[in-house]
Structure 1
Amino acid sequence: MVKKQIPVIVVAGFLGSGKTTLLNHLLHNNNGVRIGVIVNDFGSVNIDSMMVAGQVDSTLSLSNGCLCCAVDVSDMDEMLDKLAHSQSEIDVIVIEASGLAEPRNMIRLVLGSENPRVVYGGLVVVVDGANFRLTRSTHPELDQHVGLADLLVVNKIDCVDSAERDVFTEVIRGLNPRAPIADTTHSRVDPALLFDFAAAPQPLPGQQMSLDELLRDDHHDHIHTHYEAVDFVSDTALDARAVTKFLENQPAGVYRIKGFVNFDIRGYTGKFEVQTVGDHVRITPLRWKAGEPRTTQLVVIGSGMDSAVVRDMLSECIRVEGVELHPDAMLGLHRYTVGA
């Protein structure tokens, strides 16, 4: 089994919604995360204040250790292979889809990749809040895109009055009742909602900050949308059927779930790694290390989710003391389990 898998996040949205602004925001607020950027467009796209020609296999190294590539969709899989290989130092790959790209095809491309080092990291659909009605009438396919999204970024929220906001929020919730909705200005989504990163090292006294550090927009007042995280720990094994129900009926606002679960069922006494993004669930059977406590540890990450509901649903997954489950209880999780 490949030890490191790189999440591939697809960012979609119609022209002018704020996709490139979101991408530049992530590049300036990556806190040391090395981002591989794939731009699926046929024109020229301004990334990090540099022009990247829209031709196949055009790769540019950015000053902060990130890479930017511009490709045709037919060469996307080849570029994934170039970014995600055994010696790769990339931590996350972001695909900025053309404004005319069909998100469903982009998702299939990532899910269908034969590269064992990449894993689907979610579909982020950027919606122009200021022009929602117009975009929807001009591009009826927007409804389908919204319905597919794992995360909805409603941008330009500062240009929308509260009444209009209530109207399109109701419409969006009707199209996608579960995905988190992040209301933003200038596409400023907290990167921690999308991917993991280590805290940026603090400069030593008297040390001058680098250009990347000066550009970083990490002041809390500047990031309009914050993420929420719920930590769950249980020393008692979990009920596999209850976990299946939770994963298949996640509360609204949940974007990612990650961690390890102890089921302690005959034939399934190992450690199970759980990784989800939206409705996409991956469970990997592992082994407990010698002396490692057999404890369930999960983190649920989202925006606008009801943390109390999340905690209650997870608490309901704790198995009743003394109850031994039949191995058939794991059947519901088999469809999500990948090989060790």
Structure 2
Amino acid sequence: MRKPIPVTVLTGYLGAGKTTLLNRILSEDHGKKYAVIVNEFGEIGIDNDLVVSSDDELFEMNNGCICCTVRGDLIQVLYKLLDQAQTFDAVIIETTGLAAPGPVIQTFLVDLHLQAHLKLDSIITLVDAVHIHQRLGDSQEAVEQVAFADQLIINKIEHVEEKRLRGIETALRVLNPFARIYKTSRCQVQLDAVIGRGSFDLSRVEGLAMMAQAPAPEHVHDEHCRHGTHCDHDRDHGHVHGEHCGHGHEHTHAHDEDNHIQAGGISSVSLTTDKALDLTKLEEWLGNLVTVRGADILRSKGIFYVLGCGRRYVFQSVHMLMEGDLQGPWSEGEARYSRYVLIGRNLDREALRADFEACIHD
């Protein structure tokens, strides 16, 4: 049986560079066969010389790729692609710049036929370096696009100074601590570096592991910052404010009483401990949390050290859809830890920390 085809969801606010990246995929001689699904073919503006044939919805390109348009139901387009005799290296779906990618992601988590043939691989969000601070302040959709991402591409970096670029990266890491970040001009990123990464795959936990072990980024203040000195950081073992609390922010970010950065009402909470957890208590808590608060929790991802088990328990959720399982073993001599990152609205950090710590084995 053929392995499921990886699917990348590409999102980003209007003007971030999605069209530039999609044009590269459909025109460059990269040696891969991609199926690219867009909302309207006219938005891409592919040169007619690159089109081999079309049936009004499926446009075959001379580099072997296929460009598809969605004028109705995404699921119908995906079924049509799967009915084609040809195979693809990957499927790439571009969401509209004015929408959050959540509903597209959920499509692949609830349809059994799609699950059998397609595998959600990554959510890539393109970020406009020139306007991202403004967008985080005035667009809930832009905030959610950042929050859902496994990979962030900061584009148009040639138009901003290095100091401001560091502030952008820091602000994005506060909002989404586990996304891998790339910085590009005109979307010049190696396609095989961002497509087929498996960063949504539950069995791939390197990102969280690296995040738990990596040093915190430099504390940045620029001309928009309202604090002249370093902010206090909560460094207790049970909570880290998205790697830093209150740094690298612009005037568009809000702060609560503990100086925790938020954007568009969305914030991140990171819980960690090196003590062993009770698996029964952990699964009960995670299940109840997603069931009751799933509408407010956009994304969550965690690696957990459970008592008496030599393997990591890995968990993730998208709203009220969740999956968790025992994955690869802890390496011999490796320090064992648990880390759970939540991104959502109205997150009560202290209550989450208390519930998390209640799962620690007595």
TM-score (norm 1): 0.55
8 Å Cα contact 2:178/2:208 also seen in 1: no
Q: Give the Cα–Cα distance (whole angstroms) in 2 for the partners of residues 152 and 186 of structure 1.
A: 14
Change (3 A) 1:109 1:316: closer
Partner of 1:68: 67
1:56-205 matched pairs, under 5 angstroms: 58-72=57-71, 74-85=72-83, 87-113=85-111, 114-115=113-114, 116-195=116-195
**CA positional deviation for 1:248:** 8.5
Partner of 2:209: 250
Partner of 2:247: none
Task: Identify unmatched segments of 5+ residues in structure 1.
Answer: 197-226, 228-242, 254-277, 282-313, 321-340
Change (3 A) 1:40 1:244: closer
Give, as a single letter, the amino acid of the residue that structure 2 aligns with 1:171. Answer: A
TM-superposition CA deviations, 1:120-151 (whole Å, max 9, x none): 02110001001112222231332222121010
Give, as a single letter, the amino acid of the residue that structure 2 aligns with 1:193. Answer: A
**CA positional deviation for 1:252:** 3.6
Task: Identify unmatched segments of 5+ residues in structure 2.
Answer: 213-299, 304-327, 335-362
> Alignment partner of 2:20: what SS?
helix
Q: Give the Cα–Cα distance (whole angstroms) in 2 for the partners of residues 30 and 94 of structure 1.
A: 17
Higher relative contact order (CA 8 A, sep 6+): 1
**CA positional deviation for 1:315:** 10
**CA positional deviation for 1:27:** 2.9
1:15-26 matched pairs, under 5 angstroms: 15-26=14-25
Q: CA-atom RMSD, angstroms?
A: 3.5
8 Å Cα contact 2:15/2:128 also seen in 1: yes
**CA positional deviation for 1:319:** 8.3
TM-superposition CA deviations, 1:245-288 (whole Å, max 9, x none): 956933249xxxxxxxxxxxxxxxxxxxxxxxx9599xxxxxxx
Q: Give the Cα–Cα distance (whole angstroms) in 1 for the partners of residues 28 and 56 of structure 2.
A: 26
Change (3 A) 1:95 1:47: farther
Partner of 2:273: none
Change (3 A) 1:315 1:135: same
Give, as a single letter, the amino acid of the residue that structure 2 aligns with 1:24. Answer: N
Give, as a single letter, the amino acid of the residue that structure 2 aligns with 1:7. Answer: P
Q: Give the Cα–Cα distance (whole angstroms) in 2 for the partners of residues 28 and 91 of structure 1.
A: 16
8 Å Cα contact 1:84/1:90 also seen in 2: no
Partner of 1:286: none
Q: Give the Cα–Cα distance (whole angstroms) in 1 for the partners of residues 132 and 169 of structure 2.
A: 10
Q: Give the Cα–Cα distance (whole angstroms) in 2 for the partners of residues 112 and 77 of structure 1.
A: 11
TM-superposition CA deviations, 1:213-263 (whole Å, max 9, x none): xxxxxxxxxxxxxx9xxxxxxxxxxxxxxx98956933249xxxxxxxxxx
Change (3 A) 1:133 1:63: same
1:235-246 matched pairs, under 5 angstroms: none
Change (3 A) 1:137 1:195: closer
> Alignment partner of 2:164: what SS?
helix
Change (3 A) 1:191 1:30: farther
Q: Give the Cα–Cα distance (whole angstroms) in 2 for the partners of residues 3 and 84 of structure 1.
A: 12
8 Å Cα contact 2:59/2:66 also seen in 1: yes
TM-score (norm 2): 0.52
**CA positional deviation for 1:47:** 4.3
> Alignment partner of 2:210: what SS?
coil
Give, as a single letter, the amino acid of the residue that structure 2 aligns with 1:121. Answer: D
Q: Give the Cα–Cα distance (whole angstroms) in 1 for the partners of residues 203 and 25 of structure 2.
A: 33
> Alignment partner of 2:75: what SS?
helix
2:331 aligned with 1:317, yes or no?
A: yes
1:220-231 matched pairs, under 5 angstroms: none
Q: Give the Cα–Cα distance (whole angstroms) in 1 for the partners of residues 159 and 329 of structure 2.
A: 41
1:210-289 matched pairs, under 5 angstroms: 249-252=208-211
> Alignment partner of 2:165: what SS?
helix
8 Å Cα contact 1:150/1:279 also seen in 2: no
Partner of 2:44: 46
Change (3 A) 1:247 1:137: closer
Moved over 4 A (4+): 243-248, 278-281
Q: Give the Cα–Cα distance (whole angstroms) in 1 for the partners of residues 108 and 7 of structure 2.
A: 7
